Amino acid sequence: MLGGRDELAGGTWLAVNEHGVVAGLTNRPSPAGRDPTKRSRGELPRLLAEHCSATAAVADLMQRIRSSDYNPAWFLVGDRRSLYYVELAASDTPAVRQLGPGVHVLENVPLGSASPKVDRVCSSIATASATGIPLWSLLPSVLADHVVVATGPEWSGHGDTARSRATLASCVHTTDYGTRSATLVRVSLNPGDRPEMLVADGPPCTAPFVDVTRHWSGD
């Protein structure tokens, strides 16, 4: 599999394997912060990407893990034919929902919740589609976007957690927090094609996207 590596805990936030299974997560913000006594959420994209299909990956996850062992998070797990949304919450059983074809944008709120960031991304994609711009060519600029849709001084992202306006851009810059890197993954419908991965090792507004597909084992 290919993916970034969390240098603190060894896991990853996004991984893809040669079968085309892609698994990525976003953390659920908490007013109290991350509980350091819990297991790293970065274990889970790696676990999911060990499977030959997204369906098998999600079924195994449901049997093997307890949500309460981890800090809360949301996942998207997909392959060439299917896509699932997974939520790790307070209960011990992950909540799973299969998604249909279309554009699905997951940030640090539950999928489908009100989000100025998601609205901005979807609007950019819709405009590009209407003008014939290929999505693969558009996505680097979407990830580098600093525009924040107009909101109040603070916007409540989920529950009691308030967010500053700066975190509502795709590429985030604050005094103590920001976008560290960006990754693009493309999976062909042809089972014989290996997935493509581009990585910006730094904020995508300044760091170039580099093709790391050559790092598949044996290449």
Please give the full DSSP string across 55-108, using - where no structure is assigned: HHHHHHHHHH--GGGB--EEEEEE-SS-EEEEEE-SSSS-EEEEE-SS-----S
Give the domain ranges of the chain: 2-215
Q: Within a 10 A sphere around the Cβ of 144, how many other Cβ atoms?
A: 19
Strands 83-88 and 2-3: unpaired
pLDDT at residue 70, rounded to an integer: 92
Of residues 73, 91, 65, the one with CA closest to residue 12: 73
Q: Is the pLDDT of residue 9 over 60?
A: yes
Mean pLDDT (whole number) for 177-196: 94
- What homologous superfamily does CATH list for 2-215? Penicillin V Acylase; Chain A (3.60.60.10)
Determine the distance from the C-alpha atom of residue 194 to the mean position of all C-alpha atoms in its chain, rounded to a whole number: 20
Query: What is the chain's mean pLDDT, rounded?
Result: 90
| pLDDT tier for residue 155 given thresholds of 50, 70 and 90 | low
Mean pLDDT (whole number) for 202-219: 87
pLDDT digits (tens, 9 = 90+) for 65-122: 999 899 999 999 999 999 999 999 877 788 999 999 999 999 988 999 988 899 999 9
Signed CA dihedral, 145, 40, 156, 14: sign only: positive
DSSP summary character for residue 166: G
